[in-house]
Structure 1
Amino acid sequence: MLTQSPNPDSLTLGLLQMTSSIDPDENRAALDAGVRDLARRGAQFVMTPEMTGLLDGNKERLRSHARTEEADETVALARRLASELGLWILLGSQAVVVDDAPDSLLANRSFLVGPDGTVRARYDKIHLFDVDLPSGERYRESNSYRPGKDAVVADTPWGRLGLAICYDVRFPHLFRTLAQAGARMIAVPAAFTKVTGEAHWHTLLRARAIETGCFIVAPAQTGRHKDGRTTFGHSVVIAPWGDVLADGGEERGGLLVEVDLSLVDTARARIPALQHDRAYTLVEV
């Protein structure tokens, strides 16, 4: 079992880049192997992409595999791995059945799991990707998911972690809320399309890091998936000054990154923008 660093400013992060399919068993095998590999390499905290356990645009097939959080085998696997390996794990997201969703809609939910195997925090994706892309691709997440309502920050040995998922990155006010609530890192697990990823992925993530003075940690899906979509990959860790510390490219596998969280205080001292909000009135002329 790994032990946590006594230094809250020093963290070895592992990002797992995946090509999740429509087969949950296949995805769990990849999750198990990937987390174990990153643990062997020294990761203290492993983060996985959006839709780790099942990536499927077919609503009926997706619903047939979805379970409640308590019955979900991918969530259970993440909890077992965290406990066995002594790791923190962010299961980037999983489609789960929830009681408060109308018309059989699901939640797209992140799970933060502590090294004792308990779920320390949950976050349901707030902003749903309903778009028609110039490439002809059409996405309607609201057909399968209900939006979350709560912004979430959680305590870890390295300070507070803010939670976001994929399309949330286009809404900077959410990230500002998380930073002003004390987040030093913000996780953005994603399944970004190749078209939008090539155009905006790095720019958006760097902007969110600079605006908030946070580390942005974004584990991603990559490649051609069995439901027909293609995702961008390029899992990244971005420092508070906007520097890209590591980029996973387009290949599947694990990315290991050493993070110095004291850079959060350094960046915020240089540009204390989080303290400079002012009330204003919109005047339309």
Structure 2
Amino acid sequence: MKSAVSSSLLKLKNLLNPNPRPSLTSLTSVILPKLSLSSISNHTAFKLLPSSAATSCLRRSISSFKPELARVPSALTLPQPPFTKFKIGVCQLSVTGDKKRNISHTKNAIEEAVSKGAKLLLLPEMWNTPYARGSFRAFAEDIDAGGDASPSTAMLSDVSKRLGITIVGGSIPEKSGGRFYNTCCVFGSHGELLAKHRKIHLFDIDIPGKITYMESRTFTAGETPTVVDTDVGRIGIGICYDIRFQELAMMYAARGAHLLCYPGAFNMTTGPLHWELLQRARATDNQLYVATCSTARDYGSCYVAWGHSTLVGPFGEILATTEHEEAIIIAEIDYSFLDQRRSNLPLNKQRRGDLYQLVDIQRLNK
């Protein structure tokens, strides 16, 4: 009996994780094979009911669940993007106290990623400045003024236009109206600023003996969730701590996002516990892609980042990741898998609108 149970558990483990990741100690980045849809759909558990019986059961359930009421306003239909299959470049970068070096180094990384086929670039949180309160203020830029007042975003605009790519520009410290914000700028393939996301949830935590950090002592919280249409799909933007709040990701999914991008810099306490877990949860719950990008780890810094930038697929599968050193990940995104996954697990049709709702206040008040 014991051996039979162990065998069953092993088969279940292999089913849920058919592509276990190898040790990444010696790698700068690794691209992993996608989870096979057939390995799941062909499993015995999915064949217990005849197709007609399963369909009939599903229809009866949907008729009473009122899924259309689970999102207020109703969830938008997933739009058809100009590109449905493309490569993303995730640039996990080292950061120094030399701002000009950081800008030049980031530009070079973007160009390298594009040379390898990337059409979308994702940068880390605070890529132009050390992660320290004093540096935030000293390195802050007036993004709205542009030009010499914001050399970091001027570089991103120039590179995106010159190379014809979309850039989710990590984040930099922004100064505006006497306040400071942790801000992500998204640039389109013509160099235009498509969106500016100010970090909504500020990183204020206190874990005694581990880490205490109060981001609100420097930054003001943003007030606007950000979903932006680009050449590579509709993208929802969050910054680091924003990933912990599932309501924001659910809102982005209801607004028709194909992909969520989270520049971040989780630390050595919460990173090992939650960084991958949260990415896979946001992707699985909302059945979309999630991409994250951290700075590289620097043990000499006052804030040590966990690293491990990652791309997660809509079944929660790790498609590409890296360790903590500086690295550029090149991975493929294929939006055709979104419809497949949502057809296999029709969560959008099974939500209990008769029991709960997610209210998108901004859309409701328009």
- 1:3 corresponds to: none
1:22 aligns with 2:100: no
**Alignment map for 1:203-222 (pairs within 5 Å):** 203-222=277-296
Cα RMSD (Å) of the superposition?
A: 1.7
- 1:80 corresponds to: 158
**Relative to total residues, which structure has the larger strand share, 1 or 2?**
1
Q: Distance in 1 between matches of 2:137 and 2:300?
A: 16
In structure 2, runs of 5+ residues without a counterpart are 1-80, 357-366
- Count residues in correspondence: 271
Q: Distance in 1 between matches of 2:186 and 2:107?
A: 16
Q: Distance in 1 between matches of 2:82 and 2:226?
A: 24
Q: Deviations over 1:238-269 (max 9, x none)?
A: 00001000012112021100111111111222
**Alignment map for 1:117-128 (pairs within 5 Å):** 117-128=191-202
1:55 aligns with 2:133: no
The structure showing larger relative contact order (alpha-carbon pairs under 8 Å, at least 6 residues apart) is 2
Alignment match of 2:168 (pick from 90, 108, 111): 90
**Relative to total residues, which structure has the larger helix share, 1 or 2?**
2
Alignment match of 2:308 (pick from 216, 219, 234): 234
Q: 1:169 to 1:115 in 2, by over 3 A?
A: same
Q: Deviations over 1:214-255 (max 9, x none)?
A: 100101112116641110111100000010000121120211
Q: Which runs of 4+ in 1 moved over 6 A?
A: none
Q: Distance in 2 between matches of 1:208 and 1:94?
A: 24
Q: Distance in 1 between matches of 2:124 and 2:109?
A: 12
Worse overlay, 175-184 or 24-33: 24-33
Q: 1:26 to 1:274 in 2, by over 3 A?
A: farther
Amino acid at match of 1:164: G
Q: Distance in 2 between matches of 1:146 and 1:130?
A: 12
Q: Is the 8 A contact 2:259 2:290 kept in 1?
A: yes
Q: 1:207 to 1:225 in 2, by over 3 A?
A: same
1:46 aligns with 2:124: no
Alignment match of 2:259 (pick from 164, 185, 193): 185
Alignment match of 1:152 (pick from 215, 222, 226): 226
Q: Distance in 2 between matches of 1:142 and 1:158?
A: 33
Q: Is the 8 A contact 2:189 2:231 kept in 1?
A: no
Q: Is the 8 A contact 2:211 2:269 kept in 1?
A: no
Q: Is the 8 A contact 1:192 1:221 kept in 2?
A: no
How many angstroms does 1:116 deviate by?
0.9
How many angstroms does 1:42 deviate by?
1.0
Q: Is the 8 A contact 1:79 1:113 kept in 2?
A: yes
Q: Deviations over 1:180-199 (max 9, x none)?
A: 00001000110111211101
In structure 1, runs of 5+ residues without a counterpart are 1-5
1:172 aligns with 2:266: no
SS where residue 250 of structure 2 aligns? Answer: helix
Amino acid at match of 2:332: E
Larger radius of gyration: 2
- Give me the TM-score of the superposition, normalised by structure 1: 0.90
SS where residue 83 of structure 2 aligns? Answer: coil
